[in-house]
């Protein structure tokens, strides 16, 4: 319990320090840009994560129902994973363009 | 759970694992096919990038292409390796591979972002365009193979009944 309390105090101090830094010398626009870039990357990675989980689950189910079609299922699963991953890649590119360009 | 209750599930797992193992490495075939088909067109992409962003753009595009191709081959290798173990490992490999490869792409870009020869705009555009372009290009061949399996050469000699 005391460990949790210590961690909570440390997090609160870190947030306070970050807020002070943001108020004092950092440009609000750059702070907002960095925050939104981070959010863009994080949100863009959630969707593909869910998508790949669903896709692989369905592929495993298909292979369990029809083991003889495992090769075909794995081929389409690989392409499906690559297509889903493109969303995360787009999110990453948006992140680097917002943050560093 | 008694051994008798577990037996059917174990049998089913064995059948699925064996079928997955015997399917070979279709992911590696697709990935290497993608690399092979893309080779004649990639210099054009680099030349186009050089025309717009100069020599730094060309280097960045070449680096982006290398990252995308390595990503495809690594994804296929992880899936093929995990499928050889079991179907459960296939699922773990697919999901874990996603995080590993995303982290590696992040590292690959972050390590060079301040280098003098890197232009981030062509690098980012190359990552998206090459990834999607190669996938759509390969999809034509894969969908044709799946739609018309009779066109594929038979692996075992056909016998008359």
Q: What is the pLDDT of residues B126-138, one digit of tens each?
A: 999 999 999 998 8
**Dihedral sign of CA atoms A51, A52, A53, A57 in order:** positive
The pair of three-digit structure tokens given for residue A32, joined into one six-digit string = 């907002």
Name B60's Cβ contacts closer than 8 Å, sequence gap at least 6: B49, B53, B117, B118, B119, B120, B122, B123, B126
Question: ipTM of the predicted structure?
Answer: 0.78
Question: B6 with B69: CB under 8 angstroms?
Answer: no
3-class SS at B47? helix
d(CA A60, CA B88): 8
Q: Which residue of A has its CA nearest to B67?
A: A89
DSSP state of A88: H
Q: What would the mean pLDDT of B14-43 be, rounded to a whole number? A: 83
> Residue A60: which of B22, B75, B91 has the nearest Cβ?
B91
Tell me the pLDDT of chain B averaged across its residues.
83
Does B73 or A9 have the greater pLDDT score? B73
CB pairs A-B closer than 8 Å: 112
Residues in chain B: 161
Nearest to B118 by CA among B36, B51, B59: B59
Residue B13 has pLDDT above 80, yes or no: no
Chain A closest-CA separation from residue B82 CA (Å): 12
A37 touches chain B (CB under 8 A): no
Q: Do B94 and A81 touch (CB under 8 A)?
A: yes
Residue A85 has pLDDT above 60, yes or no: yes
> Residue B75: which of A76, A82, A101 has the nearest Cβ?
A82
The pair of three-digit structure tokens given for residue B102, joined into one six-digit string = 């995303």
Q: What would the mean pLDDT of B81-102 be, rounded to a whole number? A: 89
d(CA A12, CA B18): 53
Residues B108-128 have pLDDT tens digits of: 999 998 888 899 999 999 999
> Residue B23: which of A60, A71, A101 has the nearest Cβ?
A71
d(CA A100, CA A98): 6
Chain B closest-CA separation from residue A40 CA (Å): 14
Task: Please report the pLDDT score of residue A55 as a whole number.
Answer: 93
DSSP state of B39: T
Nearest to B78 by CA among B66, B86, B90, B65: B90
Q: Which residue in A78, A83, A92 has the most chain B C-beta atoms within 10 A of its own C-beta, making it the best mutation to test that interface?
A: A78
d(CA B2, CA B99): 37
Contacts of residue A67 in chain B, CB cutoff 8 Å? 15-16, 18-20
- CB contact residues (below 8 A), chain A span 51-90, against chain B: 52-53, 56-57, 60, 63-64, 67-68, 70-72, 74-79, 81-83, 85-86, 88-90
Does B67 or B16 have the greater pLDDT score? B67
Name A75's Cβ contacts closer than 8 Å, sequence gap at least 6: B26, B27, B30, B142, B146
| Confidence at A2, pLDDT banded by 50, 70, 90 | low
> Residue A97: which of B30, B105, B120 has the nearest Cβ?
B120
Q: Which residue in A45, A93, A94, A98 has the most chain B C-beta atoms within 10 A of its own C-beta, making it the best mutation to test that interface?
A: A93
Residues A20-77 have pLDDT tens digits of: 655 656 777 778 877 888 887 888 888 998 999 999 999 989 988 888 888 888 889 9
Q: What would the mean pLDDT of B53-72 be, rounded to a whole number? A: 93
| Confidence at B68, pLDDT banded by 50, 70, 90 | very high
Other Cβ atoms within 10 Å of B14 Cβ, number? 12
Task: Please report the pLDDT score of residue A83 as a whole number.
Answer: 93
A46 touches chain B (CB under 8 A): no
The pair of three-digit structure tokens given for residue A4, joined into one six-digit string = 């949790």
Name A33's Cβ contacts closer than 8 Å, sequence gap at least 6: A98, A99
Does A13 or B155 have the greater pLDDT score? A13
Task: Please report the pLDDT score of residue B134 as a whole number.
Answer: 92
């Amino acid at each position: 319990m005391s460990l949790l309390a210590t961690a909570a105090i440390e997090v609160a101090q870190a947030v306070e320090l970050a807020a002070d830094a943001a108020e004092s010398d950092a440009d609000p626009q750059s702070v907002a840009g960095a925050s939104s870039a981070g959010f863009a990357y994080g949100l863009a990675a959630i969707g593909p994560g869910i998508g790949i989980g669903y896709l692989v689950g369905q592929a495993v189910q298909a292979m369990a129902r029809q083991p003889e079609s495992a090769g075909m299922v794995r081929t389409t699963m690989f392409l499906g994973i690559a297509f889903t991953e493109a969303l995360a890649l787009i999110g990453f590119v948006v992140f680097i363009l917002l943050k560093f360009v | 759970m008694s051994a008798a209750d577990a037996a059917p599930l174990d049998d089913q797992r064995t059948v699925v694992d064996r079928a997955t193992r015997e399917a070979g490495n279709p992911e590696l075939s697709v990935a290497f096919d993608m690399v092979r088909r893309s080779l004649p067109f990639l210099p054009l992409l680099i030349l186009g990038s050089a025309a717009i962003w100069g020599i730094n753009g060309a280097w960045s595009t070449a680096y982006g292409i290398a990252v995308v191709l390595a990503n495809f081959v690594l994804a296929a290798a992880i899936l093929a390796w995990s499928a050889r173990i079991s179907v459960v490992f296939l699922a773990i490999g697919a999901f874990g591979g996603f995080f590993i490869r995303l982290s590696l792409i992040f590292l690959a870009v972050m390590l060079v972002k301040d280098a003098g020869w890197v232009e981030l705009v062509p690098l980012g555009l190359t990552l998206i365009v090459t990834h999607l372009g190669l996938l759509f290009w390969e999809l034509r061949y894969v969908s044709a193979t799946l739609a018309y399996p009779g066109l594929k050469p038979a692996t075992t000699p056909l016998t008359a009944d």
